[in-house]
A and B are shown apart, each in its own frame.
Chain A
Amino acid sequence: MSALASLKLTAAALLALAAGVIWAYVERPHSLPALVAPMALLALNLAAAIVVNPKFRRQLPLLVFHVALLILVLLAAAGRLTYLNGRVELAVGEVFTGELLDAQAGPFHRNSLARAAFVNEGFEIDYAPKWKRTETRNLVRWRGPRGEETGIIGDQTPLVLEGYRFYTTSNKGFAPVFVWQPLAGPAQRGSVHLPPYPVLQFAQAVQWTPPGASETVTVKLALDEELIDYERASRFRLPPSHDVEVVHGGKSQALRPGASVELAGGRLRYEGLTTWMGYVVYSDWTLPWLLAAATLAAAALGWHFWRRFAMRPWQEAPAC
């Protein structure tokens, strides 16, 4: 037991953890054990030291620091088992229904995204010269405990619903709105998200298949001006005039709002142009507890050294 509680083992395990971090950093496959094994060894080493070493137990701030570190590691592990990190895009007026474009989640994450419904009500983005994106202000609407609520979110100001945090991103663009009337069945209204703007301003085209149709079309946005001034401070805006082109069967047809195009499976009517915003979604219940444990660890460490150094004044170290 005393061997397991050894400080020499602590120093060795810390170096092993550093080696594990470097191993994981250079993206070696199967690097998780290289991190988990030294952390587990450090946890055992700490537990043994608490049991075996009465001197360690008497130094309350040092004990609190180490226990807080242990809690921090356990919370981080719990967070990895239950977190969610995902991505979604919503056009203006579109409701988030819980469907993500892609997501990573811990094995024990309980999905309640469907209860985190909100509507993208449009955004403003300021640009400094040379297309440097500055502030994003996105108006969102949701149903809260007090009824319908609205708020402004951004890259650093999330919308928090059901424990999920929704942030805006640099990923955004234009979205032509269409009504698709199939040969049989009801009409459907929706939008097609063009590639991000302005980063892909010269590639504003996407392939799309209307719901239930057999024919894939290419939707293009033709812009005849630079919407975000490269030289001066500017703001993201919709083009005052534009053409949306629909390419199908080798033919290209320019559409203005209200115009339609006949496709093999039905009629596609162009309604107008709007924008879409890409959001990141993040959920981790351990965040406030991690902050509490980290703050406690730092405070206890400061307390420990303060007490220790107060015993002998700094000026007592003799000048050479």
Chain B
Amino acid sequence: MLALPLLWSALLAYVAAGSTAIIAVALERRPERWILLLLLLGVSLHGASLAARWIHVGHGPFITLFEILSSNVFSLTLVFSLAYWRIPAVRPAAAFVAPVLFIMMGWLLVTSPGEGHFPPTYRTLWLYVHVALGKIFLGAVLVAVGLSGMILARLPRGEALEELAFRFMAIGFVFETLMLVSGAIWAQDAWGRYWAWDPLETWAFLTWLSAAAFLHARVAFRLSPRASALMILGVFALAFLTFFGVPFVSTAPHKGAV
């Protein structure tokens, strides 16, 4: 299958981009054009890999851990690349985003690329709406995580970076709200109930509450950039656990991967 060689090539491009970004921050160099080109090359190859697999297995990357990890590495890199391209202040954040993506890529490499069954409850437009909204949410929070990394590493202009990180968290919060709404509509269609406190729903709601608490705390307590950055890391850790932990340890019907 063509999908796998394309995927390995994409991962090589991502690793090259991420490593260059880390070295650039350490050496205080700015090879931004090269990093952007490598990111775009990786995203293009990865997009082709996902399309090839979609054609081969007859459904999108929504079922197995391999598919979910692969599609999320793609969407997270795509969202980050867009921010990297449009907002110069985001660019050094690549050095802090890269380790997160490296962990996901390493996990992807040790995961079986076997096929899974596409259940009848997934034959709905809401699957695409819900998943797309979730990916934008996590992508926006990842950009905020990169900016938080810059703040914690005491790169200059911490307050401006904090405002930028807050903006990405706010975007993430809007898309997470939409993700929960679309998920509830889908659950009503699929299982005849819009909310049942199953593990994935519960942890997604906890992530939403943590993001809401962050947005309120920022105003209420006038958080320092450092405190704000730490809270963003906390929200991301919860979101990461919800996306990639809960669906694969829960035995409830709403497993995401079933």
**Which residues of chain A have a CB within 8 Å of any CB of chain B?**
6-8, 10-11, 14-15, 17-18, 21-22, 24-25, 76, 85, 128, 130, 132-136, 154-156, 158, 165, 167, 280, 282, 287, 290-291, 294-295, 297-298, 301-302, 305, 309, 314-315, 317-320
Contact = CB atoms under 8 A, between A and B. Distances in A.
Interface of B: 86-89, 91-92, 117, 119-121, 123-124, 150, 155-157, 160-161, 163-164, 167, 170-171, 173-174, 177-178, 181, 184-185, 188-190, 192-195, 197, 199, 202, 205-206, 209-210, 212-213, 216-217, 219-221
9 contacts: A11-B216, A18-B210, A24-B197, A85-B192, A282-B192, A298-B177, A305-B170, A318-B160, A320-B150
Nearest to B202: A25
B174 A305 contact: yes
B155 to A, nearest CB: 5
Contacts of A134: 119-120
Contact of B161 (A17, A165, A305, A317): A317
Tell me the dominant secondary structure on chain A's binding face: helix
B150 to A, nearest CB: 7
B209 A156 contact: no
B219 A7 contact: yes
A314 B86 contact: yes
A135 B120 contact: yes
B205 A21 contact: yes
Contact of B220 (A7, A24, A130): A7
Given A287-B194, A320-B156, A21 B209 contact: yes
Nearest 3 A/B pairs, CB to CB: A7-B220, A319-B88, A14-B213
B121 A155 contact: yes
Given A17-B209, A132-B119, A320-B92, A280 B178 contact: no
Most B CB within 10 A of own CB, among A7, A11, A318:
A11
Contacts of B188: 287
B161 A298 contact: no
A76 to B, nearest CB: 8
A56 B123 CA distance: 43
Contacts of A85: 192-193
A298 B133 CA distance: 12
A301 to B, nearest CB: 5
A314 B209 contact: no
Contacts of B193: 85, 282
